[in-house]
Amino acid sequence: MRLRITALLSALALALALTATAQKAPPAKLEPLPEPPPIPPEIANDPDLEPQITITRRATETIEEYRVGGRLTMIKVTPKTGRPYYLVADGTDGTWVRRDSLDTGLKVPMWLLFSF
Protein backbone atom coordinates (compact mmCIF):
# COMPACT_ATOMS: atom_id res chain seq x y z
CA MET A 1 0.00 0.00 0.00
CA ARG A 2 2.80 2.37 0.94
CA LEU A 3 4.56 1.57 -2.32
CA ARG A 4 1.47 2.55 -4.32
CA ILE A 5 1.14 5.90 -2.55
CA THR A 6 4.85 6.60 -3.09
CA ALA A 7 4.59 5.69 -6.78
CA LEU A 8 1.47 7.83 -7.20
CA LEU A 9 3.07 10.83 -5.51
CA SER A 10 6.22 10.40 -7.60
CA ALA A 11 4.20 10.28 -10.82
CA LEU A 12 2.23 13.36 -9.76
CA ALA A 13 5.42 15.28 -8.94
CA LEU A 14 6.92 14.29 -12.30
CA ALA A 15 3.78 15.39 -14.16
CA LEU A 16 3.78 18.75 -12.38
CA ALA A 17 7.48 19.25 -13.09
CA LEU A 18 7.02 18.45 -16.79
CA THR A 19 4.09 20.85 -17.18
CA ALA A 20 6.04 23.61 -15.44
CA THR A 21 9.02 23.19 -17.76
CA ALA A 22 6.85 22.87 -20.88
CA GLN A 23 5.51 26.40 -20.56
CA LYS A 24 6.94 28.78 -23.11
CA ALA A 25 8.71 31.93 -22.11
CA PRO A 26 7.06 35.10 -23.47
CA PRO A 27 8.67 36.64 -26.56
CA ALA A 28 11.31 39.25 -25.79
CA LYS A 29 10.03 42.11 -27.98
CA LEU A 30 6.43 42.72 -26.95
CA GLU A 31 4.86 46.09 -27.66
CA PRO A 32 1.96 47.42 -25.58
CA LEU A 33 -1.41 47.75 -27.28
CA PRO A 34 -2.49 51.28 -28.18
CA GLU A 35 -5.22 52.93 -26.12
CA PRO A 36 -8.73 52.52 -27.56
CA PRO A 37 -10.21 55.62 -29.13
CA PRO A 38 -12.67 57.56 -26.97
CA ILE A 39 -16.40 57.12 -27.50
CA PRO A 40 -17.77 59.92 -29.68
CA PRO A 41 -19.72 62.43 -27.53
CA GLU A 42 -22.88 62.17 -29.66
CA ILE A 43 -23.06 58.44 -28.90
CA ALA A 44 -21.87 58.59 -25.30
CA ASN A 45 -24.58 61.05 -24.23
CA ASP A 46 -27.43 59.95 -26.51
CA PRO A 47 -30.56 59.63 -24.34
CA ASP A 48 -32.28 57.55 -27.04
CA LEU A 49 -29.80 54.73 -26.44
CA GLU A 50 -30.55 54.61 -22.71
CA PRO A 51 -33.63 52.62 -21.67
CA GLN A 52 -36.49 54.60 -20.18
CA ILE A 53 -38.15 52.69 -17.35
CA THR A 54 -41.75 53.31 -16.31
CA ILE A 55 -42.73 51.74 -12.98
CA THR A 56 -46.42 51.11 -12.23
CA ARG A 57 -47.37 49.82 -8.78
CA ARG A 58 -50.67 48.02 -8.34
CA ALA A 59 -52.21 46.24 -5.37
CA THR A 60 -51.04 42.80 -6.47
CA GLU A 61 -48.00 43.51 -8.65
CA THR A 62 -45.36 45.96 -9.82
CA ILE A 63 -44.87 46.44 -13.56
CA GLU A 64 -41.67 47.88 -15.03
CA GLU A 65 -41.79 48.84 -18.72
CA TYR A 66 -38.47 49.23 -20.55
CA ARG A 67 -38.46 51.44 -23.66
CA VAL A 68 -35.54 52.10 -25.98
CA GLY A 69 -36.02 54.85 -28.55
CA GLY A 70 -39.68 55.14 -27.54
CA ARG A 71 -40.34 51.48 -28.40
CA LEU A 72 -41.44 49.03 -25.69
CA THR A 73 -38.86 46.23 -25.58
CA MET A 74 -39.38 44.43 -22.26
CA ILE A 75 -41.81 44.26 -19.35
CA LYS A 76 -40.88 42.97 -15.90
CA VAL A 77 -43.80 41.88 -13.71
CA THR A 78 -43.10 41.41 -10.01
CA PRO A 79 -46.12 39.95 -8.15
CA LYS A 80 -46.53 40.53 -4.41
CA THR A 81 -46.15 36.78 -3.89
CA GLY A 82 -44.04 34.68 -6.20
CA ARG A 83 -41.10 35.19 -8.48
CA PRO A 84 -40.87 37.97 -11.06
CA TYR A 85 -41.20 37.15 -14.73
CA TYR A 86 -40.36 39.00 -17.92
CA LEU A 87 -42.24 39.63 -21.14
CA VAL A 88 -39.68 40.17 -23.89
CA ALA A 89 -40.56 41.44 -27.37
CA ASP A 90 -40.00 38.74 -29.96
CA GLY A 91 -38.83 41.30 -32.48
CA THR A 92 -40.21 39.51 -35.51
CA ASP A 93 -43.99 39.83 -35.46
CA GLY A 94 -44.85 41.90 -32.38
CA THR A 95 -45.52 38.98 -30.05
CA TRP A 96 -44.26 38.73 -26.49
CA VAL A 97 -42.36 35.80 -24.99
CA ARG A 98 -42.64 35.06 -21.26
CA ARG A 99 -39.40 34.25 -19.49
CA ASP A 100 -38.80 33.42 -15.85
CA SER A 101 -35.30 34.91 -16.03
CA LEU A 102 -33.30 36.91 -18.54
CA ASP A 103 -30.69 34.16 -18.86
CA THR A 104 -32.00 31.65 -21.37
CA GLY A 105 -28.71 29.81 -21.77
CA LEU A 106 -29.13 29.56 -25.54
CA LYS A 107 -28.95 32.83 -27.45
CA VAL A 108 -30.54 32.48 -30.87
CA PRO A 109 -29.73 35.43 -33.16
CA MET A 110 -32.91 37.25 -34.20
CA TRP A 111 -31.69 40.30 -36.06
CA LEU A 112 -34.22 42.65 -37.59
CA LEU A 113 -32.98 43.25 -41.14
CA PHE A 114 -35.84 45.29 -42.58
CA SER A 115 -38.66 47.23 -40.97
CA PHE A 116 -41.47 49.02 -42.82
Residue 114 within any structural domain of the chain = no
* CATH number of the structural domain spanning residue 57: 2.20.130.30
User: Which pLDDT belongs to residue 47?
Assistant: 66
Q: How many residues does the chain have?
A: 116
User: What's the pLDDT tens digit per position in 17-62?
Assistant: 777 666 777 778 888 889 998 877 776 666 666 788 999 999 999 9
Q: What's the predicted TM-score (pTM) here?
A: 0.51
Provide the number of structural domains found in the chain. Answer: 1
Identify the pLDDT of residue 50: 75
Structural domain boundaries enclosing 95: 46-99
Residue 23 lies in a domain: no
55 domain-assigned: yes
Res 85: pLDDT: 92
pLDDT tens across 65-103, in order? 998 878 888 999 999 998 999 998 877 777 888 888 877
